[in-house]
Amino acid sequence: MVAKPLWPGVDPAWSRRVRVPSTAAVDPAGNAHTWHLLDNGPQLAESGIEPAGTLLCVHGNPTWSYLWRTLLAAAGDAVAPWRVVAVDQLDMGFSERTGRFRRLEDRITDLGDLTAELGITGPVVTVGHDWGGVISLGWATRHRGQLAGVVLTNTAVHPAGFGLPAPLKLALHPAVHQWGTTTSAAFLRVTHALAHPPLEKDVKDAFMAPYRHAARRTGVGNFVADIPADESTPSWNTLNEVAEGIRTLDVPALIMWGPKDPVFSDRYLRDLMDRLPHADVHRFEGAGHLLPEDRDFATPLFTWLAAPVVDRGSASDRVETRGGRPKAARPARRSVETRPGTFRPMLAELHERRTDNSPAVVDMAPLAAPGAGPRTLTWAELAGQVDLLADGLAGIGVKAGDRINLLVPPGIELTSLIYACLKLGAVIVVADAGLGPAGLSRAIKGAGPQFIVGIERAFVAARLFNWPGQRISVTEMGEAKRKLYGIAHTVPELVEAAAAGPAAGRSLLGAGAPPLTTDASAPVVDQASASESAETRVAPPAPDDDAAILFTSGSTGPAKGVVYTHRQLAAMRDTLKDTYGLEAGTSLVAGFAPFALLGPALGATSVTPDMDVTAPKTLTAAALADAAAAVDATAVFASPAALANVLAAADGLTDEHRVALSSVELLLSAGAPIPEPLLAKVQSLVPSSTLHTPYGMTEALPVTDISLDGIRAAGSGNGVCVGTPVSGATVAIAAVASDGSVSDQPTTNPGVTGEILVSAPHVKDRYDRLWITQRHSASVPGWHRTGDVGHLDAEGRLWVEGRLAHIITTASGVATPVAAEQAAETHDGVRLAAVVGVGPSGAQVPVAVVETLPPATKPGTAPRALGEQVRAAVERSTGLDLAAVLAVPELPTDIRHNSKIDRARLAKWAAKSLAGGRIRKP
């Protein structure tokens, strides 16, 4: 008979008590204490299993070993079984109440006494949470011979230059402390309320079980009272010893983090990463302080333990980077192949043309002089501006490897800043304002920049959301606003200081340096001598140093930071050059944000239209034509949404506008496939142009390409034809099985539906602080998993059928949504359609959710005639039998294209609607 669990999720066989002699200074000689543990060691021994090592799990305050139950449950099923020893610290959980005030030093000693008594010799991986993180790391620094690795979840080892978090300050306040932590159970209840989603009642009861009475909560109060708030507190020296000691740990490290933690925020994560620069990091967006309760962290932990050390990196593999910062060595096997040939830096073209007085960049709505008309920089002026900015940024302490978030609209200022950062080796952080305030805030906090350069609107948000980073205004700002927003510097004063020489630049590092003023609208002076000195002062970044972090759109979950190295950015440039013939002499209109930074690297004269590039629908036909006329444009980059708005406003074009557009030879619409009818209308605006629609993603831009003629030649099929791979890229498919599982074997056989795989020199280096996501994306050696689903045809063309997360697993097999959606949209009464699966996996039924013409007044079942016609069209085209057709006033989608529809949200809504629930807006 299986024993009834003592607490939910706990096998009674794990629970044991151990009598341990104490060597802690707080105890008299000869004292011993009874510890309670959750320990699967005896079980493994009875089964004759030799564990790979021991996970030594240390809880914080006010939890207990119950926090680690999922690790114990998963340990036996791991690739290599591990012993898990989850302790109840003395005076905590179900361990003995010692009657003595145990400080940090005592608790580290206590843990060493326990492992000695248990005969644990190694290999040991410590696992710590909250204040248990500090204690586990203290044990680690004193038992290096036994140590194999460290794992941390939300914890801190140092105030990191800040005061204590507000919740801890409150808990320490004399008027609150005793009542809040001991007399009442308030501290426990507040901690339990930090779970996302909320804890189930039985789980909450289990966490409360050891602390039912005030006498059982003495350790909770003492733990709080011992917090080393400043140098005057008794445990400060021990905390400092641990904090500095971990810098020399030479073992692999994993940090898993819940960002929604009001106690240990991301600033503590950044401090840990600075002390453990080789650590693998994964931030679980939406998770908080009780991360082991919020997310499955056992699976990734055991996956990490099973990974070869070379894939994780370790402190002993550190290499020095520019700026003296250590980081983990690169894995021996890269996720994608490196482009053969000589590396040509992104600034090579700009350097070679620093004496060229022809136009380099044109800004139709310059930030520095709004309303003043177009502003132009020559190549020589741009090179001088970049040199001065690089010197100015260096003068305020920007170093190679520092992250700089640029919240500046595309234009001359952004272009100059990007290339100045590339020159310094600083890492550009670019997050689209289209993420919305909350999404943008998550992205910036996740990247953790040391500096933010932005416009005033950016600093309003920075102040509201408490974004990290020293703040630099891109334009001059009055003293009152500087104080309000916490502005440390402005770009004009950095340029002026750099132009005045190194001494002036160094003065900006002083805390009380007076602000310098300059006329931001004045033309840039060619600073040839300053440029030459800057060339000798700034060492070039290495090809495999990080260069940029670009955030995804956030349409399939929280936006992810995508890291590119200098080599990979250069490969992206080379791919565009080789695929489309973009080179010196090209004049391009950059109406699509990612291409705004590539013009100078290509040697092309580029112009930014009068629009908000982060809001593509703000591009008008007249603005596009004015930009084309300004540089005699031969190429145009614009998003589908921008082109749709251009067409809507085309009636306002003058004869001069049409002449300017008639000179365009190449039009690229990146970001989404475009229907042939829309492209045909665009062709009439640029009659001399070849129209292309590259397919790609933030992680690999572009992947394939197809022209308007190619779209017409491909005709209709299962999905959207996006053409053949671009220069240097290879595409393959990982087949999807009938149950929805995906193969790990790439194939290029035609007609096989599966996940699209990409290999190219310009594929991203990794996802930033998303170890789990990155490991999955690179799990097929040599390939990047895109998460998109599609197939190759007999001509080698790629067809995109949707997202892997949106496939429908019916009783008869797998179905993908795009072809069915296209069929539904052939009906005149349907503007937009999404097809989703409703029901359990393997027995789902397909349901169409449509926007109608005219729009439906409220969500519900589509009109009978429309529903029957849509069902017939879908079955005729794809063989898919729709279970229902629902109509909504508006589908939840971004402004770009169908693949950005939130199908997961729609599937949940459709399931509730069909189950007879109250029909609300999806």
d(CA 85, CA 68): 9
* 155: phi then psi, degrees, rounded to nearest 5: -155, 180
Task: Name the strands in the sheet holding 860-861, side by side, starting at the edge strand that comes first in the sequence.
Answer: 830-838, 845-852, 884-888, 860-861
Task: Give the orientation angle of helix 131-142 with respect to helix 236-245, to 10 degrees.
Answer: 60
Whole-model pTM: value is: 0.89
Secondary structure (DSSP) of 202-224: HHHHHHHGGGSSGGGGHHHHHHH
d(CA 77, CA 135): 28
CATH topology of domain 12-312: Rossmann fold (3.40.50)
Q: Write out pLDDT tens, residues 1-46.
A: 345 567 999 999 999 999 999 999 999 999 999 999 999 999 999 9
d(CA 757, CA 703): 10
Secondary structure (DSSP) of 303-355: HHHHS-HHHH--GGG-EEPTTS-EEPPPPSS-SSPPPPS----TTHHHHHTTT
Whether residue 703 is predicted with pLDDT greater than 80 in this model: the reply is yes
Give buried/exposed letters for 201-221 (b at 16+ CB in 10 A, else e).
Answer: eebbebbeebbeeeebbbbbb
Q: Which CATH code, of 3.40.50.980, 3.50.50.60, 3.30.1490.20, 1.10.3470.10, is assigned to 348-360+370-565?
A: 3.40.50.980
> Sign (positive/negative) of CA torsion 619, 623, 625, 629?
negative
**What residue type is 273 in one-letter code?**
M
Average pLDDT, the chain: 87
Secondary structure (DSSP) of 807-831: -EEETTEEE-SHHHHHHHTTSTTEE
Higher pLDDT pick, 662 / 307: 662
Give the pLDDT band (50/70/90) at residue 79.
confident
- Helix ranges, 76-194 (H): 104-118, 131-142, 166-172, 177-178, 186-192
Q: What is the pLDDT of residue 919?
A: 62
d(CA 87, CA 124): 14
Instruction: Indicate the domain borders of the chain.
Output: 12-312, 348-360+370-565, 718-804, 807-914
CA atoms within 13 A on the CB side of 123: 13
d(CA 14, CA 7): 11
Q: Write out pLDDT tens, residues 375-396.
A: 999 999 999 999 999 999 999 9
Q: Tell the residue number behind the tokens 């940024």, with chain if given.
A: 393
Q: What is the pLDDT of residue 638?
A: 87
Q: Tell the residue number behind the tokens 């109840």, with chain if given.
A: 88
- Confirm if 22 and 110 have CB atoms less than 8 A apart: yes
- Helix ranges, 608-706 (H): 621-631, 640-648, 655-662, 676-685
Give the pLDDT band (50/70/90) at residue 332.
very low
Instruction: Report which secondary-structure segment, H or E, holds 405.
Output: strand 403-407
d(CA 466, CA 460): 10
- Give the alpha-carbon dihedral of 178, 182, 188, 191, to 10 degrees: 30
Q: What is the pLDDT of residue 673?
A: 66
Q: What is the pLDDT of residue 311?
A: 42
How much of the chain, in percent, has pLDDT values that exceed 90? 71
d(CA 493, CA 503): 14
Q: Write out pLDDT tens, residues 819-870.
A: 999 999 999 999 889 999 999 988 999 999 999 999 998 898 999 999 999 9
d(CA 626, CA 376): 14
Q: What is the pLDDT of residue 180?
A: 84
Burial label, 521 (beta-carbon count in 10 A; 0-12, 13-18, 19+): middle
Lowest mean pLDDT among 7-21, 304-318, 559-573, 830-844: 304-318
Same fold flag, 12-312 and 348-360+370-565: yes
Q: What is the pLDDT of residue 443?
A: 94
Q: Write out pLDDT tens, residues 153-189.
A: 999 998 665 666 667 677 676 776 788 899 999 999 9
CATH topology of domain 718-804: Luciferase; domain 3 (2.30.38)
- Confirm if 108 and 141 have CB atoms less than 8 A apart: no
Q: Write out pLDDT tens, residues 476-487.
A: 999 999 999 999
d(CA 241, CA 225): 19
CATH topology of domain 807-914: GMP Synthetase; Chain A, domain 3 (3.30.300)
How much of the chain, in percent, has pLDDT values that exceed 70? 87
Average pLDDT of the residues in 59-85? 92
Whether residue 309 is predicted with pLDDT greater than 70 in this model: the reply is no
Task: Give the orientation angle of helix 379-395 with respect to helix 491-500, to 10 degrees.
Answer: 90
d(CA 613, CA 724): 28
Burial label, 717 (beta-carbon count in 10 A; 0-12, 13-18, 19+): middle
